[in-house]
C-alpha cells in the first residue's frame, strides 16, 4: 500500500485561517477525511464553514496549522497549483464562466491534464452529464441554475481530483433541482471521489453524506455519522449555539 493510499484523502491539523491575521475566523480545526468519504460540513451562519473550505482551497490566508492531501503537504499552495495536486473547489456562486461556452469551460479546466488525456476526460464528462453534451456550444451564461451546477461539478470532476469541495451547491436552486444536484454528487462519490460538501440545507446534505461535521464559531463541535443526525435533538442546539451542551462527539 502506498503512502497516498494509506493516508486520509484530506487532513487538517490545528488550522487557523481568516482574512486578517489578528481576526481568525477558523480557530484551530483538526479534521481527517477518509478516501472515498462523503462529508457534509454544517453549521449556523457565520460558523466559518465557507472560510474553512476556502482556506483549504488556497483562497483565504492560513495563519497556522497544516493541510495534507493524500499525505502530501499542501498548506499555503496557490489555488491553481492545488487543482493540479488533486483538490477541486466549486464556489457557491459564480462557479462557471458565463461568457465561455460549455465546451470552452471544460477545455479550460482540461488544461491542467496531460495533453493526451484532455479529450478523453471531456468526453467522460459529457457521458456523465448528457444534458451538457446536448449543447456544447451554448454559452454557459444561458444555462439554468441546475445545469450551471452540473457544469460546475463537471469542471471540478474533469481533472480527476482526489477531493472535491463544494460550497453550498444548493444555494438558489428549487427543491427539485437540489434533489438532482445531490443525486449527481452521490453518483460522483460512487466513482470513488471524496466529497466535502458545505451546506445550509441540512436535511438534504445529511440525506447523501456519510459523515457530518458541525462547525460553530470557527471550531468543530460535532463529528460523526450523517445517518440519524437530522433527528438528533442536539443538532438544533448546535445550530442555536449551545454546542457546549452538545459537546464534542467525535
Partner 1 sequence: MNAQFIVDGLIAGSMIGLGAIGVTLTYAILRFANFAHGEFIAWGAYLALAVVAAVPFGMVPIGPFSFGWMLPIAAIAAALLTGGLAILIDWLLFASFRRRGSATIIMVIASFGASLALRSLLEFVFTSKPVYFTRELQIAMPLGGGLRATPDQLLMLGVTAILVIAVHLLLTRTAIGRQMRAVSENPVLARLAGVDVRRVIRTVWCLGGALAAGAGVMAGLLVQIRPYMGFDLLLPLFAAAILGGIGSVPGAILGGLLVGLCEALAVQTVGAEWRAAVGFVILTLVLLLRPQGILGKAAT
Q: Interface with partner 1 by CB under 8 A: which residues? A: 57-59, 78-80, 83-84, 88-89, 91, 94-100, 104, 107-109, 111-112, 155, 159
Q: Closer to partner 1 at the Cβ: 25 or 235?
A: 25
- CA 141 to CA 93: how far, in whole Å? 13
- What is the residue whose three cell numbers read 465557507? 50
- CA 66 to CA 241: how far, in whole Å? 27
Task: State the DSSP string of 182-225.
Answer: HHHHHHHHHTT-EEEEE-S-HHHHHHH-SEEEEEETTEEEEEEE
Smallest gap from residue 93 Cβ to partner 1 (A): 10
Smallest gap from residue 99 Cβ to partner 1 (A): 5
Smallest gap from residue 78 Cβ to partner 1 (A): 7
> Residue 28 corresponds to which cell in the numbers above?
484551530
Smallest gap from residue 53 Cβ to partner 1 (A): 12
Q: Which residues, at least 6 apart from 31, have a Cβ–Cβ distance to it below 8 Å?
A: 10, 11, 12, 213, 220, 223
- Cβ–Cβ contacts within 10 Å for residue 210, how many? 16
- CA 79 to CA 66: how far, in whole Å? 16
- CA 141 to CA 216: how far, in whole Å? 35
- What is the residue whose three cell numbers read 503537504? 73
Q: Closer to partner 1 at the Cβ: 121 or 243?
A: 121
Q: Closer to partner 1 at the Cβ: 30 or 104?
A: 104
- What is the residue whose three cell numbers read 470557527? 218
Smallest gap from residue 58 Cβ to partner 1 (A): 8
Q: Closer to partner 1 at the Cβ: 6 or 79?
A: 79
Q: Closer to partner 1 at the Cβ: 111 or 172?
A: 111
Smallest gap from residue 244 Cβ to partner 1 (A): 36
Q: Closer to partner 1 at the Cβ: 16 or 151?
A: 151
Amino acid at each position: 500500500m502506498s503512502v497516498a493510499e494509506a493516508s486520509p484523502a484530506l487532513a487538517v491539523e490545528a488550522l487557523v485561517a481568516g482574512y486578517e491575521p489578528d481576526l481568525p475566523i477558523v480557530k484551530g480545526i483538526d479534521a481527517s477525511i477518509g478516501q472515498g468519504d462523503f462529508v457534509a460540513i454544517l453549521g449556523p451562519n457565520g460558523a466559518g464553514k465557507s472560510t474553512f473550505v476556502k482556506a483549504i482551497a488556497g483562497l483565504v490566508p492560513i495563519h497556522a496549522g497544516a493541510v495534507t492531501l493524500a499525505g502530501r503537504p499542501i498548506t499555503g499552495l496557490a489555488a491553481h497549483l492545488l487543482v493540479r495536486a488533486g483538490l477541486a473547489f466549486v464556489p457557491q456562486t459564480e462557479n462557471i464562466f458565463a461568457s465561455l461556452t460549455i465546451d470552452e469551460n471544460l477545455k479550460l479546466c482540461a488544461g491542467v491534464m496531460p495533453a493526451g488525456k484532455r479529450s478523453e476526460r471531456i468526453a467522460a464528462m459529457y457521458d456523465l452529464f448528457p444534458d451538457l453534451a446536448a449543447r456544447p456550444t451554448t454559452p454557459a451564461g444561458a444555462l439554468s441554475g441546475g445545469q450551471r451546477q452540473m457544469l460546475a461539478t463537471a469542471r471540478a470532476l474533469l481533472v480527476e481530483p482526489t477531493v472535491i469541495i463544494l460550497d453550498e451547491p444548493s444555494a438558489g436552486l428549487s427543491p427539485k433541482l437540489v434533489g438532482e444536484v445531490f443525486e449527481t454528487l452521490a453518483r460522483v462519490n460512487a466513482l470513488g471521489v471524496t466529497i466535502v460538501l458545505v451546506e445550509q440545507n441540512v436535511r438534504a446534505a445529511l440525506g447523501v453524506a456519510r459523515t457530518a461535521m458541525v462547525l460553530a464559531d470557527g471550531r468543530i463541535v460535532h463529528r460523526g455519522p450523517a445517518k440519524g443526525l437530522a433527528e438528533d435533538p442536539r443538532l438544533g442546539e448546535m445550530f442555536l449555539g449551545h454546542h457546549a451542551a452538545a459537546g464534542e462527539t467525535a
